[in-house]
Every structure is written in structure tokens, then in C-alpha cells.
Amino acid sequence: DTEVTQTPKHLVMGMTNKKSLKCEQHMGHRAMYWYKQKAKKPPELMFVYSYEKLSINESVPSRFSPECPNSSLLNLHLHALQPEDSALYLCASSQAGAGNQPQHFGDGTRLSIL
């Protein structure tokens, strides 16, 4: 079992729906990440939160809206997504400011847009 928990594991939604992906960690990490991974491709960074503040936004479309309500939780709010947004969404966490520490990943949410 991973120490980063993502819910739901699978999500199917229409293009007009609003849904949220959730991520939780209890390792005391103060950096949290969202990645998008298309099939047979490497993960691509979307957002980074450091000490609950957004520190990196990799020019992600505004239909993806991240939120970090506290040091243990990270959400990704989804609205008006496109079929090309279908992918595996991975959450990760790490110690902030410690470049030699690995990022710990959750199992991911497999998202399908109809």
C-alpha cells in the first residue's frame, strides 16, 4: 500500500460535469504535486504546492483548478474537460526544499472523459 492515497481510483465524467480528485498524505511532507500521464508516456508535471502555496503551474488550462486546503490534502477540481484530458492523474508528495528526497506517488486516478 502506498502512503499517498488518491480517490477515486477511477472516474468517468461527461464534458459538462464538475468533479474533484483528492489526494491525502500523512508523512509530514510540505510539498505536493499533480502529474498527468497519458498511456505509454511519462508523467508530466501540472502543479506544485509548497507549504500550501502554489509554487509551480506548468501552463495548465484553467479547466483544471488545484487546491491545497491543508498540509495533508491536495485536490484537483475538474470542470468542462475535453476528451484529450483522459489520462492517469498522479499525486505525489515530498519534503519541501530537500532535493535529495524522492517524491512519493499515489496509485493514481484513471480519468475518462466521454
Q: With contacts defined by CB under 8 A, name the span among 14-22, 67-75, 78-86, 100-108 that binds other proteins.
A: 100-108
DSSP 85: G
Q: Does residue 47 touch other proteins according to CB under 8 A?
A: no
Among 31, 68, 111, 113, binds other proteins (CB under 8 A): 31
Among 12, 18, 55, 112, binds other proteins (CB under 8 A): 55
d(CA 13, CA 111): 8
Q: Does residue 33 touch other proteins according to CB under 8 A?
A: yes
Give the Cα-Cα-Cα angle 11, 34, 68 (nearest 5 degrees).
95
Cis peptide before 8, with omega less than 30 degrees from 0?
Answer: yes
d(CA 11, CA 85): 12
Residues that bind other proteins in the complex, under the rule CB under 8 A = 2, 31, 33, 41-45, 48, 50, 55-56, 88, 90, 92, 94, 96-100, 102-108, 110
